[in-house]
């Protein structure tokens, strides 16, 4: 007749088994501790932003609201590279003055940035 105890071992005591399960549960609950928070500062690349705008103009994009930030962009690019900032300023001043961009000039400037 089947008593339901054939597969169980009687060598472990109930308190020892309960303590082991408790410790395993505690380890799983607590884990290895909390990892320290790391702050990674983000510093945008002004040249990448300038390239993105000039690339759009080279593709035929019309002048839009991004023109309001030209002065700030030129200042940031100039701080990173004075020569590239001067070229960008000349191009963007012309774009602002004409109200549209010249795709050929934008492509040329894109190669220089």
Please give the residue range of the domain that contains residue 70: 46-112
Segment 52-111, tens digit of pLDDT: 999 998 988 888 888 888 899 999 999 999 999 999 999 999 988 888 888 889 999 988
The mean pLDDT value for 16-31 works out to 80
Q: What token pair was written down for 40?
A: 């990674």
Asked, for residue 33, whether it belongs to a domain, the answer is no
Residue with tokens 């190669």: 111
Q: What is the 3-state secondary structure (H, E, C) of 76-104?
A: HHHHHCHHHHHHHHHHHHHHHHHCCCCHH
Asked, for residue 81, whether it belongs to a domain, the answer is yes
- The total of structural domains in the chain comes to 1
Asked, for residue 57, whether it belongs to a domain, the answer is yes
């Amino acid at each position: 007749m089947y008593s339901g105890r054939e597969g169980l071992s009687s060598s472990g005591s109930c308190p020892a088994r309960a303590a082991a399960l408790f410790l395993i549960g505690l380890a799983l609950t607590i884990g290895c501790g909390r990892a320290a928070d790391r702050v990674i500062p983000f510093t945008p690349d002004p040249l990448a932003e300038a390239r993105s705008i000039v690339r759009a103009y080279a593709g035929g994009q019309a002048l839009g609201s991004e023109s309001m930030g030209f002065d700030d962009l030129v200042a940031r690019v100039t701080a990173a590279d004075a020569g590239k900032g001067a070229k960008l300023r000349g191009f963007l001043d012309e774009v602002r003055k004409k109200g549209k961009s010249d795709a050929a000039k934008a492509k040329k400037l894109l190669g220089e940035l």
